[in-house]
Amino acid sequence: SYQLSAISYQLSAISYQLSAISYQLSAISYQLSAISYQLLNKRGKQKFNLSSLAFRPRNSLYLALSPLNS
């Protein structure tokens, strides 16, 4: 019983770490999208929809980035 409880705690910790990594990757993706938008804007090319850059909450642990419209 104690071992199962310990395993459950470890899995919960791993799940939290994966969620944190997912959030960090989403933040990086957002930053890259913002840079891409700035580069496209400077070149005077067709702008893509800024609303596609918005964060879309999926659960309380992390936010996922919605797909971009290029």
Domain region containing 39:
12-65
- Mean model confidence pLDDT for the chain: 75
- Measure the CA–CA gap between 29 and 61, rounded to whole angstroms: 17
* Residue 30 located in a structural domain: yes
The C-alpha torsion from 25 through 31 and 33 to 39, rounded to 10°, is -150
* Residue 39 located in a structural domain: yes
* Residue 53 located in a structural domain: yes
Please give the pLDDT value at position 62: 42
Tally the domains of the chain.
1
Give the pLDDT confidence of 49-58 residue by residue, as tens digits. 555 555 544 4
* Residue 7 located in a structural domain: no
